[in-house]
Structure 1
Amino acid sequence: MKTSEIEQYKLDAQYWNGCAIATYAVFGAGFIFQSFNGQLDLYNDWLLLIGFPLIWVFRWRSGKAAKNLDGQ
């Protein structure tokens, strides 16, 4: 595997992991904010429909890029 490919896979893994962390932060802050407003019912629907699938996809992509570093 070329050095440039390894660097690209590292960047890909960091990028997708960063996307997952940002999604955690956005939805976590929204959860705290909505809990103070008493509107958690609607927010929980958005969290389940959008937040968790996004986090799952970002973590999956991060893992896929990391596995490419191992040559799998």
Structure 2
Amino acid sequence: MERLAYKGVASNLVTYLTEVVEMSTSVAAKSVSTWSGVTSMLPLLTAVLTDSYGDRYSTITASSLFYVVVPHAK
């Protein structure tokens, strides 16, 4: 499901940025490329930190709380 959501967001993000946010096409494409790169590399970077300083259960708990709390914070 996560991959399906990612592909759905990625395919519509340039359209959203150009039509709703009114970015130029080149800036919107650059933003989507940056977003795609960050979302692809972030698991590799956080995996090193988690394996070095955390254990399995505290990592699952922290990421679950982050997933629930952060999208609803304003």
TM over 0.5: no
Query: What is the TM-score normalised by the length of structure 2?
Result: 0.37
The answer to which structure, 1 or 2, has the higher relative contact order (CA under 8 A, 6+ apart) is 1
